[in-house]
Amino acid sequence: MFAVTEAGGVQIGKDKFAIINGEKGATWLKLKFQGTPGHGSAPYSSDNAVHKVSKAALHLTDYCDNKTPIDTTYISHLIKGLGMNFFLRSLITNKNLLPFILKILSKKDPEISKVLHSLSRMTISPNIIQGGSKTNIIASEASLELDIRTLPGQDYDYVVFHVKKALKELAEEVIIERVESKEGIASMGTASPVESDFVTAMKNAIRKDFPDASVVPLIAGGATDGRFLREKDVDTYGFALFDPETPMNEIVNLAHGVDERISQKTVELSLNVYYNLAKEFL
């Protein structure tokens, strides 16, 4: 079984159109730390829970940036689809060289460095800190909430193992809880094959409007309904056809923006490409 859903069909290079063949999983965690209350006028050598949370955030950020295990599978799919030469592909997909390349890119092209970093590992983002009850009281409790995005195949046990490893000495006293959201954001990463008759049919469907087009498989950082279909063994792809005249940064900024929209040309192209896909594949 096959399905198409949101997010694909954006031109990311000359005649190169992205199809979303998978997405990263999302796990939200709350880390809790305990301290010993005391008067804020005597902080020396105190057991302050806020100190622990602050140190935890720094440990986790460093681990995410520099120490999380690297998997270049999904970078390989991307750069092969983009048609990079063998030398560049060999450099970027080398696990030992990738951290060095990311540091260079972070200065020259920060957005590309973020994409490659995200595609190559589980990421950990410490986003909410809460602690303390009064300015003159040393905090006895504090918490840190994390947004963790996992690659396909990385489960909850994998997440907890690496969070504790990142925390170092703080791992012995942390209390870890899952954060459940109203949107049901907790999910595991999923991916569909990058080569199949269906993928070929998508490429041929685009070529009805753009004869030299090729498709580039890409793992999305955000969650879509496609994950529910993949969990039912349905090969699912983010696929449409955005107007190539619309700049990439405009498409990105409009998503979930105040005036979220697509162009009329995109609607027309997507209608055509869906018809062509059905006709081509069936």
CATH of the domain at 227: 1.10.150.900
* pTM of the shown model: 0.86
- Which pLDDT value is given to residue 186? 67
Q: Are the C-beta atoms of residues 131 and 142 closer than 8 Å to each other? A: yes
**Two tokens, residue 263:** 């162009």
pLDDT of residue 12: 87
User: Would 184 be classed as within a structural domain?
Assistant: no
Q: Is residue 103 part of a domain?
A: yes
Structural domain ending residue among the three candidates 117, 149, 178? 178
CATH number of residue 140's parent domain: 3.30.70.360
Structural domain for 215, as ranges: 2-23+190-281
CA 93 to chain CA centroid, Å, is 18
Task: Tell me, yes or no, whether 72 and 208 share the same domain.
Answer: no
Strands 25-34 and 175-178: antiparallel
**144 and 232 belong to one structural domain:** no
CB environment 98-110: b (16+ within 10 A), e (fewer) = beeebeebbeeee
Shared domain for 164 and 35, answered yes or no, is: yes
Q: Where a domain ends, among 178, 209, 240?
A: 178
**DSSP label of 220:** E
Determine, yes or no, domain membership for 75.
yes
205 shares its domain with 234: yes
Please tell me the predicted confidence (pLDDT) of residue 67. 94
Coil, strand or helix at 205: helix
Do residues 198 and 140 both lie within one domain? Answer: no
Q: Is 33 within the bounds of a domain?
A: yes
Check whether residue 52 and residue 170 sit in a common domain.
Answer: yes
Question: Is residue 183 one of the residues assigned to a domain?
Answer: no
Are both 108 and 152 inside the same structural domain? Answer: yes
**Long-range contacts: 241-250, Cβ < 8 Å, 24+?**
241/9, 241/17, 241/206, 241/209, 241/266, 241/269, 241/270, 241/272, 241/273, 242/9, 242/10, 242/11, 242/266, 242/269, 242/270, 243/269, 244/11, 244/210, 248/10, 248/11, 248/12
Could you tell me if residue 146 is inside a domain? Answer: yes
Confidence (pLDDT) at 222:
78
Enumerate residue ranges in the chain where pLDDT < 50: 184
Residue 71 shares a structural domain with residue 122:
yes
Question: Is residue 44 located within the same domain as residue 159?
Answer: yes
Alpha carbons 117 and 249: distance in angstroms, whole number: 19
How many domains, the chain?
A: 2
Q: Are 25 and 187 in contact (CB under 8 A)?
A: yes
Task: Let me know whether 133 and 53 are in one domain.
Answer: yes
The pLDDT, as a whole number, for residue 7 is: 82
Specify whether the CB–CB gap between 141 and 131 falls below 8 A: yes
Give domain status of residue 257, yes or no.
Answer: yes
Q: Are residues 46 and 109 in the same domain?
A: yes
Residues 114 and 168 occupy one common structural domain: yes
Q: Is residue 185 included in any domain, yes or no?
A: no
Domain end point (choices 178, 211, 246): 178
